[in-house]
Amino acid sequence: MAKIIDGKKIASEMLSEVFMEVKALKEKGIEPCLAVIIVGDDPASKVYVKNKKADCGLVGIRSLEFSLPADTTQKELVDLVKKLNNDRSVHGILCQSPIPKHLDEKEVINTISPEKDVDAFHPVNVGHIMIGDGAFLPCTPTGVMEMLRHEGISAEGKRCVVIGRSNIVGKPMSLLLLAQNGTVTICHSKTKNLPEITRDADILVCAAGVRNLVTADMVKEGAVVIDVSMNRNDEGKLCGDVDFAEVEKVAGYITPVPGGVGPMTRAILMKNTLTAVKNLTKQN
């Protein structure tokens, strides 16, 4: 049976460290602040924003929430971002995805100041990730790397397979594994013979958003299986891409859904906000 990697526990330890650093900054008269923009009434987005707000409360970061109606115009959204860019009391900015289809998300991301882009989505920060010297690292992939580090698992020399090629998870995940000298293969919806590829993986990261995509016969015995996705089963319960009950019998390590990567993503967001505070304070 696989060892379950407890994301909640690891995230809690990270948040405790962030809390102490935030406390030290406040003693110097610096109050870290994260601004979150949400547009529309997407239920999942509301839950995510609520959780982020709760995390801010735990570590002592001031949280600003800007809840905009679904009919918000592009100009109104971009103007708000520009206003937050110019607000020296705000250190981190993120716009919760997805946003209504009539809005241009790319323009919004490009408008956020790279120094306040705690999601690490701005092209400038993506470029820094590519060459390996980024101040900010993307929250979910970095959370995965922290989980591996916590368990003493190195990607060096390992065959690493990432299922999914999104800009948010798949692509940056592959870069972070590559930076640790892993041999990385990216799979996606057009990949042929997926089971044949995944069976070679020492580290398998699943981020396709397809329930029960990964079954036990697709996993190498003793492999590390990281399930990034958040899906719903027929009963409405949260689940990932991995058939957890069966894959757990084959893998060496496995992450649960929920309670795995999700808490780590939010913990890294808090850490990135702290990094933004430090960097902006140096500039000022």
- Is 133 part of the annotated catalytic residue set? no
∠ CA 233-238-244, rounded to 5° = 80
**Nearest Cα to Cα of residue 145 among 112, 106, 174, 103:** 174
Partnered with residue 94 across adjacent β-strands are: 36
Burial class (CB in 10 A: 0-12, 13-18, 19+), 34: buried
Identity at 212, one-letter amino acid code: N
3-state secondary structure 109-155: HHHCCHHHECCCCCHHHHHHHHHCCCCCCCHHHHHHHHHHHHCCCCC
Residues, the chain? 284
Q: Is 120 left (phi over 0), alpha (psi -120 to 50) or beta?
A: left
Give the integer Cα–Cα distance in Å for 28 and 30. 6
Instruction: State the catalytic residue, choosing from 55, 119, 227, 243.
Output: 119
Identity at 190, one-letter amino acid code: K
Give the integer Cα–Cα distance in Å for 114 and 282. 15
Partnered with residue 204 across adjacent β-strands are: 161, 225
- Is 96 part of the annotated catalytic residue set? yes
Give the integer Cα–Cα distance in Å for 136 and 142. 10
Antiparallel, parallel or unpaired: β 238-239 and 231-232: antiparallel
Give the integer Cα–Cα distance in Å for 260 and 228. 8
Antiparallel, parallel or unpaired: β 159-163 and 203-206: parallel
Residues annotated catalytic, as ranges: 52, 96, 119
